[in-house]
Homo-oligomer: A and B are copies of this chain.
Amino acid sequence: MKISQTFMPTLREVPGDAVIASHRLMLRAAMMRKLANGLFAYLPLGLRSFRKVENIIREEMNAIGALEAKPTVIVPGEIWKESGRWDTMGEALLRIKNRQDADLVASPTAEEAFTALLRDEVSSYRQLPLTMYQINTKYRDEIRPRYGVMRGREFTMKDGYSYHTSEESLDDVYQAMGRAYRRIFKRCGLTVIPVKADTGAMGGTGSEEFMVESEIGDNTLILCRDCDYAANVEKAACKPDFEAPASIEAAKAAAAQTPAREKIDTPAVRTIEELCAFLKTDAKQFIKTLIYRGINVEADLSAAPGGSKLEKKSLAPDAPKTYPEAFFAVCIRGDLDVNETKLAAAIKASEVSLASDADVERFTGAPVGFAGPVGLRDIPVIADDSVTAMADAVTGALEKDKHYIHAAYGRDFEPWLVTDIRTVVAGDRCSVCGGELYEKKGNELGHIFKLGNKYTKSMNFRYLDADGKSQIPTMGCYGIGLDRTLASVIEEHHDDDGIVWPMTVAPYHVMIVPIKYDGAVREAADSLAAELEAAGIEVLLDDRDERPGVKFKDADLIGIPLRVVVGEKNLPKVEVKKRTEKESRLTELSAAAAELTGIVRSELAGLNG
Contact = CB atoms under 8 A, between A and B. Distances in A.
Interface of A: 5-7, 9, 33, 35-36, 39-44, 47, 50, 65, 67-76, 78, 91-92, 94, 96, 98-100, 106, 113, 116-117, 120-121, 127, 130, 132, 136-137, 139, 141, 143, 153-154
Given A33-B120, A47-B69, 4 more contacts: A39-B76, A42-B71, A44-B67, A74-B139
A100 B36 CA distance: 13
In the assembly, how many copies of this chain are there? 2
A7 B132 contact: yes
19 contacts: A5-B65, A7-B121, A7-B132, A9-B121, A35-B71, A35-B116, A35-B117, A39-B72, A41-B71, A42-B71, A44-B68, A47-B68, A47-B69, A47-B70, A72-B154, A73-B154, A99-B141, A100-B143, A137-B137
A76 B42 CA distance: 16
A43 B69 contact: yes
A73 to B, nearest CB: 5
B99 A143 contact: yes
A117 B7 contact: no
Contacts of A75: 35-36, 39
B35 A76 contact: yes
A431 to B, nearest CB: 40
A91 B99 contact: yes
A74 B106 contact: yes
Nearest to A50: B70
B41 A72 contact: yes
Nearest to A41: B71
Nearest to A65: B5
The interface centre, meaning the residue of A50, A99, A127 with most chain B CB atoms within 10 A of its CB, is A99
Q: Which 10 pairs across A and B sit closest by C-beta, in order of nearness? A: A41-B71, A36-B76, A42-B70, A72-B154, A44-B67, A91-B99, A39-B72, A9-B121, A99-B141, A96-B96
Contacts of A116: 35
Contacts of A76: 35-36, 39
A39 B70 contact: no
Contact of A70 (B41, B73, B121, B153): B41
Nearest to A4: B126
Contacts of A40: 72
A549 to B, nearest CB: 20
A17 to B, nearest CB: 15
The interface centre, meaning the residue of A70, A78, A154 with most chain B CB atoms within 10 A of its CB, is A70
A41 B117 contact: yes
Contacts of A67: 6-7, 44
A44 to B, nearest CB: 4
Contacts of A41: 69-72, 113, 117
Contacts of A94: 74, 96, 98
Contacts of A65: 5
A247 B84 CA distance: 75
A98 B141 contact: yes
A39 B74 contact: yes
A92 B98 CA distance: 9
Nearest to A70: B42
A9 B96 CA distance: 32
A539 B73 CA distance: 30
Given A94-B98, A143-B99, A44 B72 contact: no
A33 B121 CA distance: 10
A68 B67 CA distance: 26
